[in-house]
Structure 1
Amino acid sequence: MANVEDRKNGSYRLTVILGYDDKGTPIRERKTVKAKNMKEAKKMLTVFEAEILTGKFFKAEDKMTLTAFYPQWIEKHAKDTLSPDTLQNYVSILNNRILPKYGHFKLEDIKTIHVVNFVNDLKKDGQRLDGKKGKLSASSILNCYKAFNNVLSCAHRWKLIKENPAIGAKPPNGKSKKSEVYSKEELSELLNLLDNKPLFWKTLIMMAVSTGAREGEIAALEWKHLNFEKGTIRIEQAISEIKGEGVKLKGTKTGKDRTVTVPDTLLTMLKTLERLRKEEKLKVGELLEWPDHFFIFANEFGKPIRPDSIGQWWRRFTTSNQFKHIRFHDLRHTSATLLINEGVHAKVISERLGHADISTTMNIYGHVLEEADKTAATHFESFFEKKA
């Protein structure tokens, strides 16, 4: 049941009765509109009633601002759905970039053009917060967009806004420049340089190259994840350092556990390292800092290495040896690239790296696979020449 009430001066109140409560009182949904006459108002009533019946009607009872919504987003959504690293990143972006500009806006007043302008401004000079010269990278801009989109998407799901305005704003292309990797010759030189380094670091670097694991995943490896008989290691967790909270254990980036076969040389080194770690554990006894865990890469008190410490040591190592420096994370790309060039199937590589699906592998290493494919074509050329 629906009706229109003339409120004078071109205003009309639309009323739709949804039903009755247990006391017989009508449950109404109302909306005041501006119309030229009663005929136009009735047309608007028809649309209004249809929106209610199809569940598309939105009623903004609480004129909540973005700043007011922000703590609810953190407590009721972000903490449960985002990884600690991503949450920390998004919170920083919101506090430093989004809330100062749009915090006073009512959620329903944030339009697509505001998100478009936000992203466009990030592309200009002077947007870096670290004081360095130059523009923000494409990936940094994309992360800012993702943070804004995540908050607005949550508000939409909770029916605080009719639609997510960030959807209409085309996100920037977050592709970074092609990663540098080591060739087979450079990898051989790297292993020679590692010969005179502590077993701890030599094993860690070889683990990174042979498994393609991420820094946080390597730091979180425990001896229970190793199967010496099968020559495999299980990667099922990662370590993250959260500001103000310290080192925390979490799942892998994609939430996908994987078992990776490791070379015999690395297994031999791990057996030696395990013996040393067990001796250390016996010496410290009750002073162990993580008594419920036995990490492969930890100090003598069982505290796991911080992921950022790995990258810091790696830079010092390459610099002091005047060896070509690439990011520690690029050892992961080196692992994948070498396997591709050796003809290993992309699906196998995808599983080893722990990608969500093979399309991720294809997107990241498509250029390497294309080059490998061209090399494969030369084999057919040699076949044809023999036939001729």
Structure 2
Amino acid sequence: MDACRQFMTDLLAGADVAVNGTKPWDLRVKDERLFREVLLKKNLGLGEGYMRGWWDCERVDEMICRVLRNATAGHIRGCWRLFLRALPSMVFNLQTLSRARQVTERHYDLGNDLFESFLDPYFQYSCAYFKDAEHAMDDLDGLSDGEVGRELARAQRAKMRLICEKLELGPGDRLLDIGCGWGGLARFAAEEYGCRVVGINISKEQLAFAREFCHGLPVEIRELDYRLLQDRFDKIVSVGMFEHVGTRNYGEFMKAAARSLKPDGLFLLHTIGSNETSPTVDPWIGKYIFPNGVLPSMAHISRAAEPWFVVEDLHNFGPYYDRTLMSWLRNFRRSWPSLRAQYGERFRRMWEYYLQSCAGSFRARDIQLWQFVFTKVGRPQPRCRLA
């Protein structure tokens, strides 16, 4: 155990992270078994150790950021055990029609009360657009919980407006929202731009909520997989859903979007993206948060879109996801007393580690947030009122 401890201590020191140090991003180890687990399972062992209470850290987000910015990340990621865990995704299609519901059942159907506890009033579970925020990211710790909530709500409305402007939405348009979540964007588009919306989803909890949330508006919410689409639309949007499509289905997704888009239409894809082309996702995230999820690379997306679309615009505002996640964390912690009895302490640690580790990844620029605007080949270039 001493050798394992020394190896991990030396490894983290290169990222200015100490074991049992005094800085906010230092690890405070409570169970020595952590060192062997991290050496055997790498980042999977680190996340599981946090869930078990084997270590704590005042600023997990900053610790993760420092590790990823340093060469330490390569040592923590690499492991033959993790390769074996990733092997099925290289050989099999883990996001077939029959398997697609796994992520909805294990994540999105956890309970609307959970997501309501930390999301904005439009239930936007994707990166907000803080371009015109009143306070900088560094000011977040100095804001009250109420101020954090208001800033998040404004930034999410700004994100939705940005999407609608890029799509040149207007009265008379028929918009398809692939993976419509709780219906927030569909409601916003119908209310603010006067268009008709069809949202498709396969999450039972989200479908029920979205239908009620959009009641009385020209919004239809369907339980439907994107592969079964038959209608044609003026505009198409997909926000935060492409991460669940899987590398073996990117071409099918783009083909379905092209089949559903009118010749003069616009398609906006909003997705988290990876700097590296890989068929796998972080093993801890894949096991505990998003089963079968994969982050697409730029190469993945461009290859899949090439037969069907012209890229009219590409916008990266990944750094705003850091602030979005830290805002969600503040809201979650504020709401935890009302959630504790239902979800329990292990879940609290899991969820806080999820939000903080993702924030650290975006802060380190290890992952990105992209918005693509696509048109069909031959269509005149759109106005695309961009940021």
- State TM-score, norm by structure 1: 0.25
Higher relative contact order (CA 8 A, sep 6+): 2
Please tell me whether Structure 1 or Structure 2 has the larger radius of gyration of its CA atoms.
Answer: 1
